[in-house]
Amino acid sequence: MGRILFFLTEALRALRRSAAPSLAAIVTVILTTLLLGVFIPVIKASSTTNENVRSQLHLRIFLATDAGKHQAKVVERKVDRIPHVARTEYVSKREGLNSLREDIGKSPLSRGLEQLKGNPLPPSINVYPDDPDHLNSINSAISPPGPNGKPKPISSAIDSVNSSQHLADEIRTVTNTVKVILTVIAALLLVASLMLVANTIRLSIYARRREVEVMRLVGATNWFIRWPFVIEGLIVGLSGAALAVGLLWLGKATIIDPLAENFQLINNFSTVSFVSLVELLIASAVVVSALGSGITLRRFLRV
């Protein structure tokens, strides 16, 4: 116990001696931990949003306006036999109009919709794949190339096929770009934190080089000399992580939680457990601090 108190006292004394570099390292750890605490939920939320959208992707087959229910059933049976089709759903003209009204709501377009005479919408069939990645192959099977090389529907009752695959591709591109950018920024910040912690430890070693020489002369072991510097780095990392976690909790309580009920994207942040996030951030800060101390001790403390 006495040895632990000695190491802790020496570490605190070294931090006071090199106050400016230590403060710079702590601030960098705070910024890094804060940004990681924001980046991780953002990446998770974007992935969740991407998966939610992908799960709703489907093909919509628009039938001829005068197509009857019997013709629609024939088309459904043909489509059901296509590989990777999970299920189909017939949407009548009335159901399509009601769905359109719900989508439009009270927007200005609702006035124009009320002025329409009759129902201009055709009946349709929703085709749900077993995996959104198979939308293109299903679409090609519904409208294979004809003798002239142009797509020809498998039934004369089919007027057109609408695919939402382009939406999935756009969402995937955006989310992947966001992930790459945030990962690069996080990596740069981790490297900056690592180097600042290492620089703080190096300054401490230089300031106490005479003490280190005396300890070596009296027979102190390598780890007896190293431990105060290791603890110093851990104090820097834990201090920065603790302050960052406090700021993250404050932001969660005052911004995220009140807005989560009204905004789906913000509500997706709740998919990341705050306790698990805190544990990950503290562990990351400790690892960065330990690596910074270890790199410096290995290079500058030849014992």
Pairing status of strand 85-91 against strand 124-129: antiparallel
Chain length of the chain: 303
User: Exposed, middle or buried: residue 2 (CB in 10 Å: 0-12, 13-18, 19+)?
Assistant: exposed
Predicted pLDDT at 112: 58
Alpha carbon 180 to its chain's center:
10
* Mean pLDDT, the chain cut into blocks of 10 residues (303 residues total): 68 69 77 79 73 77 84 88 88 78 64 64 86 83 81 83 73 77 79 73 68 69 72 80 85 71 53 74 78 66 52
Predicted pLDDT at 74: 87
- Return the closest-CA partner of residue 232 out of 201, 271, 194: 201
Predicted pLDDT at 303: 46
Predicted pLDDT at 296: 67
Q: Does domain 58-163 have CATH number 3.30.70.3040?
A: yes
Predicted pLDDT at 269: 52
Q: Cα–Cα distances in Å, from 142 out to 76, 89, 133, 136, 167?
A: 11, 15, 16, 10, 20
Return the amino acid letter for 284.
Answer: S
d(CA 171, CA 230): 45
Specify the 3-state DSSP secondary structure of 118: coil
Q: Note the pTM of the prediction, 2 decimals.
A: 0.60
In the chain, CATH 3.30.70.3040 sits at 58-163
